Structure 1
Amino acid sequence: MEAAFTRWMRCFFNIVQLVTYLSDGSCPFVSQSLRESMFETNQAKLLMVEPELVLAELATFRLELLGYRLEVVSSGAEALDRLRHEPIDLLILDTKLPEGDGLEWLTELRLEFKADQVPALVFSLDPSLEMVRRAYLAGAQDYLITPFDPTVLEEKVQRLLPSHAEIV
């Protein structure tokens, strides 16, 4: 029993050290707005359609630290079901989905939900101008090449959110 308690205390101490490092200004990868909002709650609801688990976890970690409520699904069908049952402030979508091309899915989504109802940020490994052009033509409001700088993700999300959903 004592060994379990010691492991728990060591884990707790490491978490406290991590939170301190992230919030005290010494970590070079944490922006001022992230430090200010690490423990605040934001009313903005984000939906991420991302089949790649690692990319979803990285983005989720950053966005939840910023106080956003984030739900991650791995397919367009799951996302469409969520969108029909609950309004969201921002859709984050990968170009590669299990059922096919994410941009084709976004084009179909725009028949039901306009850009002012559901703004979209597209993730892609493809940095080509053709892919960026396709994303905007499909109905995206912004494009982010992966892997991405977390501060760039933060800036794009904040820019795309309706003014009522900004961090308090």
Structure 2
Amino acid sequence: MSERRAKVLLIEEEPTLREISAFRLELLGYEVHSVDSAEKALEWLQRNQPTVMIVGQFLPGVSGVELVDRLSNDVRTSSIPVMYLSPNADLEHVQRAFTAGAKEYLVTPYDPLVLQQKVQQLVAVTTA
């Protein structure tokens, strides 16, 4: 990572998954901002620019796929890579997430090393 810490916006409704993921990413040296809804994420994005976004499948009011689609079609956020978190490994669901704009997909529960590798890859592409 560069001298400036990469910022990760973590959008996940489930508290335990959100807290464990944020903790793991902070241990790896990332600056993490975590929220539990699309509404809070969009509000935060009005004032901040993350390096990477991680979006969970289940969010209040809007699905994770809908949020990814919105982020990938917004000129302010379309260049920020998104990793999608979901307990669903069904090929159709995975394809929907990628079609919406996700660059990575991680099935939960996940191996922490896989989370680390995927985030590092997304950060490397963004900061290259």
Whether 2:117 is the aligned partner of 1:155: answer: yes
Q: Deviations over 1:11-62 (max 9, x none)?
A: xxxxxxxxxxxxxxxxxxxxxxxxxx9xxx8610000001100001111111
Unaligned runs of 5+ in 2: none
Match of 1:131 among 73, 77, 93: 93
Q: For each residue in 1:110-163, what CA deviation from the matched residue of structure 2 results, as whole angstroms up to 9, or x when unmatched?
A: 22121xx21100000001001110000000000000000000000000001145
State the match for 1:74 in structure 2: 36
How far, CA to CA, are the matches of 2:53 and 2:80 in structure 1? 6
TM (norm. structure 1) is: 0.70
Question: What is the letter of the counterpart of residue 108 of structure 2?
Answer: T
In structure 2, do the counterparts of structure 1 residues 90 and 164 end up closer, same or farther at CA, with 3 Å as the change threshold? closer
Question: Structure 1 residues 103, 163: closer, same or farther in 2, change over 3 A?
Answer: closer
Mapped contact 2:10–2:53 kept (Cα < 8 A): yes
Distance in 1 of aligned mates of 2:114 and 2:124: 18
In structure 1, what is the equivalent of residue 12 of structure 2? 50
Task: Name segments (4+ residues, structure 1) moved above 3 Å.
Answer: 162-166
How many residues are treated as equivalent by the alignment?
125
Q: Give 2:25's aligned residue.
A: 63
State the Cα distance separating 1:100 from its structure 2 match: 2.6
Greater strand content: 2
- Higher fraction of helix: 1
Over the residues paired in the alignment, what is the CA RMSD in angstroms?
A: 1.8
| CA 94–164 in structure 1, closer or farther in 2 if over 3 Å, else same | closer
Identity %: 38
The answer to whether the 8 A contact 2:82-2:103 is kept is yes
2:55 alignment partner in structure 1: 93
| Alignment check: 8 A CA contact 1:94 1:122 kept | yes
Larger C-alpha radius of gyration, 1 or 2? 1
